[in-house]
Structure 1
Amino acid sequence: MWKTSYCLRVKHLLFYAMSDSNTSYFTNPSTFILLGIPGLEASHVWISIPFCAMYTIAILGNFTILLTVKREPSLHEPMYYFLCVMAINDLLLSTSVLPKMLSIFWFNSREISFSACLIQLYFIQCFSVMESGILVAMAFDRYVAICHPLRHSSIVTKPMVSKISLAIVLRSILLVIPSLILASQWPYCRSNIIPHTYCEGMALVKLACADIRISSYYNLALTFLIFSTDTFSILLSYIQILKAIFMLPTKDTWLKAFRTCGSHLCVLLVYWIPADFAILTHRFGQNVPLHVHVLMATLYLLVPPMLNPIIYGMITRQIRDKLF
């Protein structure tokens, strides 16, 4: 009887000590653990090969665009300035994701500090919002170039490009800050394991032992606001562009106008298709395996930075000629 009560007391103390230490650890976690792609851990090395190739192409392609525009005075025009802004944003976006991801795949370095996780979360969301804003700015530039060609140089000036770029940056910073503040305030006591290749917003917030509906609603509202307003602005620009094109006298001028917008339209598709898949699988794909969610969310951040410089290098004649 004495031994039984003693054992019960010891077990009670051990349970209390373990639960207390776990609570104190997870309420203010010093580190999180990134799993990579759950269920495909054995294939991480093989999966890293195409990801590393995409990152290398993104770096080389975007730096080539930047150097080509800088060295060629004939490319010092608003369209190519916006292209340079997109190239810088793509470099920052891919660099905020890939290095840590490759360290997980190659060196099994899964730990990331709480502050570094929040910084990565903020950068990814901020650069993603900037990408959408840059596409709107480029659509506006194409609208003025085709619908008001004689006034293009007086409307889309260098100061105007600078102001639009600054507005895009400020919009991204201000809209993403509340998401970061909310994520930093939650008490994390469920676990410190994030089943993702990077610190994705909702994957992190779901670890909080609190009512996270505010974060969920804000992220959903932010996604809807950015996607709907930017998409509406781009569609409105292209409706006006199509009206202007079909009023042109000959088919040759139609083709010339379509070539002017061709690269931008391809970049829009490269951005929209992975984004739509990622958003739809995340919101409505409850039966979709977790590794598919993670792969789609990762490709959404890697494919546009890789393909954008290739598209502009191949389709835009001025850049292609200068490269050769």
Structure 2
Amino acid sequence: MRGRYNVTYLISKFQVSEFFLMGFPGIHSWQHWLSLPLALLYLLALSANILILIIINQETTLHQPMYHFLGILAVVDMSLATTIMPKILAILWFNAKTISLPECFAQMYVIHCFVAMESGIFVCMAIDRYVAICRPLHYPTIITESFVIKATVFMALRNSLTTIPVPVFAAQRHYCSQNQTEHCLCSNLGVTSLSCDDDRTVKSIYQLLLAWTLMGSDLGLIILSYALILHSVLKLNSAEAASKALSTCTSHLILILFFYTVIIVISITHSAAMTVPLVPVLLNVLHNVIPPALNPMVYALKNKELRQGFYKVLKLGMKGN
């Protein structure tokens, strides 16, 4: 018992106070060159989503539940990108690799929370499209402003509460010697691999089950919604009506497929013994910055009302100059 007490005392005594985020594994000598494309992606994400919000706010024809969800998605996307990109750019530009343990666990929580929130908004948008296409006569009474508010509040509470165990379990571990992680953000698996605890398995399994339950239930609801939409569209006698109905869902499906495919790939590459550790690290970073930059462009290209709003805002800007 005394020996165990001494070991515990030594572990707590030599607990590290900060982590070193080394950046992208295997390319430390030239990783600063990645700062330019990453900075451009970040600026594109901010400017495109701000433009989407301006268009939705100024155009009265876009004051509809579908566009309210799109505006919420824009806010979530900007928040997610801002959570990680300033620190990544500081690492690449100024070699600012240190991050305190509380800051690291806070970043871990916010990343998980916003990724889960984005998944939840995709569910809300899928339900919106299902009701609009399969129950068009009931759409005004089901998808109301009250529904948007309630769905958003529910998703915010669900994701903010269910993701708390991720940083809490990570913070409960002891980090007594190694404090350098081959990453440029505080990912859960990357940070917890530095701990010197022996009982990692149970908590790691719990966290993976939590993630798969949360994201898996969202993906299941989305698949069900679009399966019902497809079934309803195939029963339409008019090819033009079917084409119009499907075109409104295409942009959603493109973004949803990209979002969940990358999450699955990241999970597999992190769990497997990767010979090229750069792959999961790069994917993890890109997954947090490409969707925020991609989402507004896909919606603007596929949505006629948004395109018209963009042209109006652009013309007003040109007249003002």
Q: TM-score, normalised by structure 1?
A: 0.90
| CA deviation profile, 1:1-30 (whole Å, cap 9, x unmatched) | xxxxxxxxxxxxxxxxxx999956641x22
2:204 is equivalent to residue 216 of structure 1: yes
The one-letter code matched in structure 2 to 1:239 is: A
Structure 1 residues 55-64 or 202-211, which shifts more? 202-211
**Aligned equivalents of 2:47, 2:31: Cα separation in 1:** 24
Aligned to 2:238: 250
**Aligned equivalents of 1:113, 1:126: Cα separation in 2:** 20
The one-letter code matched in structure 1 to 2:163 is: V
**Aligned equivalents of 2:161, 2:293: Cα separation in 1:** 27
**Aligned equivalents of 2:191, 2:274: Cα separation in 1:** 21
2:178 is equivalent to residue 162 of structure 1: no
Aligned to 2:253: 265
Aligned to 2:319: none
Structure 1 gaps, min length 5: 1-18
Query: Does structure 1 conserve the Cα–Cα contact (< 8 Å) formed by 2:116 and 2:215?
Result: no
Structure 1 vs Structure 2: percent identity of aligned residues? Answer: 37
Aligned with 1:297 (options 281, 284, 296) = 284
| CA deviation profile, 1:98-156 (whole Å, cap 9, x unmatched) | 00000000000001111111110000011011111111110000000000111101101
Q: TM-score, normalised by structure 2?
A: 0.91
The number of residue pairs the alignment matches comes to 304
Aligned with 1:227 (options 215, 232, 239) = 215
The structure with more radius of gyration: 1
Query: Does structure 2 conserve the Cα–Cα contact (< 8 Å) formed by 1:62 and 1:91?
Result: yes
Structure 2 gaps, min length 5: 1-6, 312-321
The one-letter code matched in structure 2 to 1:81 is: H
User: What's the RMSD between the two structures over aligned residues?
Assistant: 1.8
2:66 is equivalent to residue 79 of structure 1: yes
Residue pairs, 1:182-197, within 5 angstroms = 182-197=169-184
Aligned to 1:317: 304
**Aligned equivalents of 1:209, 1:105: Cα separation in 2:** 28
Aligned to 2:90: 103
Aligned to 2:317: none
**Aligned equivalents of 1:288, 1:314: Cα separation in 2:** 39
**Aligned equivalents of 1:26, 1:302: Cα separation in 2:** 36
Per the TM alignment, residue 256 of structure 1 is displaced from its structure 2 partner at its CA by: 0.7
**Aligned equivalents of 1:49, 1:25: Cα separation in 2:** 41
Classify the secondary structure of the residue corresponding to 1:41. Answer: coil
